[in-house]
Amino acid sequence: MIMPIITLTTDWGTKDHYLAAVKGAILNHIPEAQIIDISHEIAPFDLNETSYALRNTWKYFPKGSIHIVGVNSEASLQHPHVVIKEQGHYFIGADNGIFSLVFDTTPEEIYELDVILESNKFTFSTKDVFVQVAKHIVHEKPLNELGDKLDELTNKMAFRPVTEPDIIKGKVIYIDRYENIVTNIDEDLFKEMVGKKAFTLFLRAGKYKIKTIHSSYSDVGEGELIALFGSDNMLEIAQNRGRAAGLLGMQLDDVVRIEIES
Amino acid sequence: MIMPIITLTTDWGTKDHYLAAVKGAILNHIPEAQIIDISHEIAPFDLNETSYALRNTWKYFPKGSIHIVGVNSEASLQHPHVVIKEQGHYFIGADNGIFSLVFDTTPEEIYELDVILESNKFTFSTKDVFVQVAKHIVHEKPLNELGDKLDELTNKMAFRPVTEPDIIKGKVIYIDRYENIVTNIDEDLFKEMVGKKAFTLFLRAGKYKIKTIHSSYSDVGEGELIALFGSDNMLEIAQNRGRAAGLLGMQLDDVVRIEIES
Amino acid sequence: MIMPIITLTTDWGTKDHYLAAVKGAILNHIPEAQIIDISHEIAPFDLNETSYALRNTWKYFPKGSIHIVGVNSEASLQHPHVVIKEQGHYFIGADNGIFSLVFDTTPEEIYELDVILESNKFTFSTKDVFVQVAKHIVHEKPLNELGDKLDELTNKMAFRPVTEPDIIKGKVIYIDRYENIVTNIDEDLFKEMVGKKAFTLFLRAGKYKIKTIHSSYSDVGEGELIALFGSDNMLEIAQNRGRAAGLLGMQLDDVVRIEIES
């Protein structure tokens, strides 16, 4: 039996009834569905956290998986509901910019959902619309029956690091449960710019400095600071067995600066 | 393959081992079970939150689903364990009043569980008793083998709004993760009493007033207050992209008053 | 269809992407897997909480279940990755002492995982290594293909109660969501030492005393203190419908002393 995988990424939390109502609706319409939670603790309405969660998980799922995004999922003229196909995966949500942050390039296929909604009645899009679309996909019906094809997604620019010949200026994009500090400087950029040259990573305007990249948290002693490229290929500042963000007093959007020795 | 759906609604949280022990026991006795969490973050012992969670979710699940309630699940003479059948769904728990708040009318079938318990030993009812009952249901054995039929449930009165000819006086029954404020005034009552007449909704003894019902959070600008009937058909006060409860300083059980212009 | 059960016990939380990435990888390699969360709210790096969660749950799952431990899962020379077979269950993790706290005796079979890791690249062991091992087990390949057999586990001594002829001195090992206080005094030890003799349980250096063991929280009135052996067979101090730890001002590692009348 093929069990279609449906993932859910939302800002609903897990206490309220919203999530279970949607899971019930999914199982009602797609009884063989395997439902997997990506995250439901996205900060309310936060597009960056949403795309970060989805970006770092969807590729690990089997092809054919359907990824439903329940954050800011009300449709509007500017931000219609869309279904996206990319590398054998499907994505359903409102085109409010989240998806442009999930993919590095425009996805293979994008369709604007052409769903007639009752206009005077509260609509819970994820339950009332997205589940129907997921069912359509599971039944292997053509995506173009769902609506018109779009050429591109609403573009929300990711804040990319700023570079000068010997400088990379990035910022903190995520702080995880361990208070590891994730930056927007990825391994490719670092290798291209720094290569085998010496460098200094400045944190808190130079209050803290790191001059080495390690490959594992335990490469340094307990309590010591470390920089490494994590499982998402992003430069990460951590404290072995500690809480780097708290220790360093660093927060989301703080600047991280690398000076390369020439 | 039929995968019987078993939902769990508890106040156990998800950190402790209680939930996983029960899931293990379910899969041990019903290997093909599909287990779905309704909520495990019910405030400890809170019957109102429990019934609110279950009331707003069970109907979305497929018929045949078995809903286990692990809140205040110790049996007593006044509050025996029961199994309930309603519209093709099954419910298992202690008859402590929760179920009378889940259903608007007496359910189709109610049986008092006739299970012999060891008397000197701690019993974890959900794991030790309810899983056995679920297995009995999955195996399609008659419910009346489980115990005697009951005519009615222990009745815990829901606090219904008080109405005068031109007034509806309700209260706050739930505050969700977004700090949306859910009241006990449902759409039917509102339509019957207010219809197309003008009205004023008074919050915090008149400190805040709302005179319109909208149908979607985004019908007003960001940060503005809005009243609408949510997915549970209850009158809800929200702040578009904000946190209404915090903003208004409103809490559970606070009064919400509607004056209708005659 | 056999759905292999894979449980996950981690300190990753449920907000970050780590958990969903691993679930995706599991379903990618073992499409028929049934994934069950034991707990993801283990305090970061806490071996005691990890073993307590696993110890009190694994036996309830069906034989053949695979239990993956994602706490402190980096391998080192002292703490290699291992796969363990015990009573038909499989366990995968780093041999850092957790497993010696899960089992009372040395498990039936232990193998040190002989996996070649790239050395310069960050490794997310649970996703990159443990999922492969789980797949190996699901495909019923011999465990000895995975690495060399070990005779014993890294031993982390559980703090056992100290006993004198008429005294049991234990400590608090866990406080659950209800603020029930779980001690390391198990029912067997209590029965052997106390039997039918009178005893006094001293809490907070004698500030609170209990002289009876009950079998159910509701054996006492609401708000009253109670001692009982919980579902994990450990002596537990609770307050019926209350929060014992907060009430008594008790914390993890606090002493609990039983004096037996001779």
Helices (H), B16-130: 18-29, 47-55, 98-102, 125
Contacts of B218 in chain A (CB under 8 A): 74, 76
Count of residues making up chain A: 262
Chain A interface includes C78 (CB < 8 A):
no
**What does pLDDT average to over chain B?**
94
Residues of chain C in contact with residue A177, where contact means CB-CB under 8 angstroms, are 11-13, 15-16, 44
Touching partners of C (3+ C-beta pairs < 8 Å) = A, B
Q: d(Cα C212, Cα C206) in Å, to the nearest integer?
A: 15
Alpha-carbon distance of B248 to A209, in angstroms, equals 45
Helix axes C131-138, C18-29, angle to 10 degrees: 30
A45 and chain B in contact, CB less than 8 A: yes
Indicate whether B1 pLDDT > 60: no
pLDDT greater than 90 at residue B262: no
- Is C7 part of the contact surface with chain B (CB cutoff 8 Å)? yes
Rounded Cα gap, residues B153 and B97, in angstroms: 7
Give the pair of three-digit tokens for residue A35.
Answer: 């439902």
Confidence of residue B231 (pLDDT cuts 50, 70, 90): confident
Segments in B139-258 forming alpha helices (H): 187-193, 244-248
Report the pLDDT value the prediction gives residue A123, as an integer from 0 to 100: 78
* B chain contacts of residue C52, beta-carbon cutoff 8 Å: 17
CA separation for the pair B157, C11 (Å, rounded):
42
Poorest-confidence range of A53-57, A195-199, A224-228, A231-235? A231-235
Pick A16's closest partner by Cβ from B36, B61, B176: B176
Closest CA–CA distance from residue B119 to any residue of chain C (Å): 8
CA closest to B41 among chain A residues: A15
pLDDT of residue A94: 96
Give me chain A's average pLDDT, please. Answer: 94
Residues in chain B within 8 Å Cβ distance of A11: 177
Rounded to whole angstroms, the Cα distance separating C185 from C254 reads 13
B touches which chains (3+ CB pairs under 8 A)? A, C
Confidence (pLDDT) at B90: 98
Is the confidence at residue B136, as pLDDT, over 60?
yes
Residues of chain C with pLDDT under 70: 1, 115-121
pLDDT at A91 over 80: yes
- Residue B193, pLDDT above cutoff 80: yes
Please name the residues between 148 and 177 in chain A that touch chain C, using a CB distance below 8 Å: 176-177
Q: Is A17 in contact with B215 (Cβ distance < 8 A)?
A: no
For the cut 60, the answer to whether the pLDDT of residue A118 exceeds it is no
| Closest Cβ opposite residue B177 in set A1, A12, A123 | A12
* Residues of chain C positioned with their CB less than 8 A from the CB of A1: 1
B52 contact residues in A (CB cutoff 8 A): 17
Which one-letter DSSP state was computed for residue C60?
G
Neighboring chain A residues of B41 at a CB cutoff of 8 Å: 13-15
Cβ-based contacts of C37 with chain B (< 8 Å): 14, 20
Residue B216: Cβ within 10 Å count: 19
A44 touches chain C (CB under 8 A): no
Q: Which of A218, A193, C10 is nearest to A228 (CA)?
A: A218
Number of inter-chain CB pairs under 8 A, A vs B: 87
Q: Do the Cβ atoms of B67 and B50 come closer than 8 Å?
A: no
pLDDT of residue C32: 94
Confidence of residue A159 (pLDDT cuts 50, 70, 90): confident
Of the pLDDT bands very low, low, confident and very high (cuts 50, 70, 90), residue B222 is very high
| Model pLDDT for residues C65-82, shown as the tens digit of each residue | 999 999 999 888 889 999
Best A19, A60, A63, A234 member to test C by mutation, with max C CBs in 10 Å, is: A60
Closest of B115, B118, B96 to residue B50, by C-alpha: B96
Contact C112, C150 (CB under 8 A): yes
Q: Does B78 touch chain C (CB under 8 A)?
A: no
Q: Does residue A121 have a pLDDT over 70?
A: no
Confidence of residue A1 (pLDDT cuts 50, 70, 90): low
Residue C216 CA: distances (Å) to CA of B10, B97, C212, C228: 18, 20, 12, 7
* Contact status of A3 with chain B (Cβ, < 8 Å): no
Q: How high is the pLDDT of residue A116? A: 58
Q: Which of A26-30, A91-95, A202-206, C10-14 has the lowest mean pLDDT?
A: A202-206
Rounded to the nearest angstrom, the minimum Cα separation between A60 and chain C is 5
3-state secondary structure of C27: helix
Q: Is C36 on the interface with B (CB under 8 A)?
A: yes
Which of C62-96 are b and which e, b meaning 16 or more Cβ less than 10 Å from the residue's Cβ? beebbbbbbbbbebeeebbbbbbebeebbbbbbbb
User: How sure is the predictor about A120, in pLDDT bands with cuts at 50, 70 and 90?
Assistant: low
> Please, which residues 187-216 of chain A have a Cβ atom closer than 8 Å to chain C?
215-216
What is the Cα gyration radius of chain B? 21
- Band the pLDDT of A77: cuts 50, 70, 90: confident
Extract the tokens encoding A152. Answer: 């591109």
pLDDT reported for residue C94: 96
Q: Identify all chain C residues contacting A176, using CB atoms and an 8 Å cutoff.
A: 13, 16, 18
Chain A partners within 8 Å of C13 (Cβ): 41, 176-177
Reported as a pLDDT band with limits 50, 70 and 90, residue B117 is low
pLDDT in tens, A236-251: 999 999 999 999 999 9
pLDDT in tens, C175-224: 999 999 999 999 999 999 999 999 999 999 899 999 999 998 989 999 99
pLDDT average, residue stretch B208-231: 93
Whether B237 contacts B203, CB under 8 Å: yes
DSSP B73: -
A231 confidence band (pLDDT: 50, 70, 90): confident
Any chain C CB within 8 A of the CB of B11? yes
- The per-residue b/e assignment along A143-174, b for 16 or more CB within 10 angstroms, e otherwise, is beebbeebeebbeeeeeebebeeeebebbbbb
Q: A57 in contact with C at a CB cutoff of 8 Å?
A: yes
Q: Is the pTM of this model over 0.90?
A: yes
Q: Across-strand partners of C237?
A: C181, C227
For the record, the structure tokens of B73 come out as 């699940």
pLDDT single digits (tens) B142-175? 999 999 999 999 998 888 999 999 999 999 999 9
Work out the pLDDT band at A262, boundaries 50, 70, 90: confident
* CB proximity C28 to A under 8 Å: yes
**How far apart, in Å, are the Cα atoms of A163 and each of A167, A200, B4, B6, B251?**
6, 15, 56, 54, 50
Task: Provide the pLDDT for residue B115.
Answer: 66
* Residues sharing a CB contact under 8 Å with residue B237, sequence separation 6 or more, in sequence order: B180, B181, B183, B201, B203, B210, B225, B226, B227, B244, B248, B250, B256
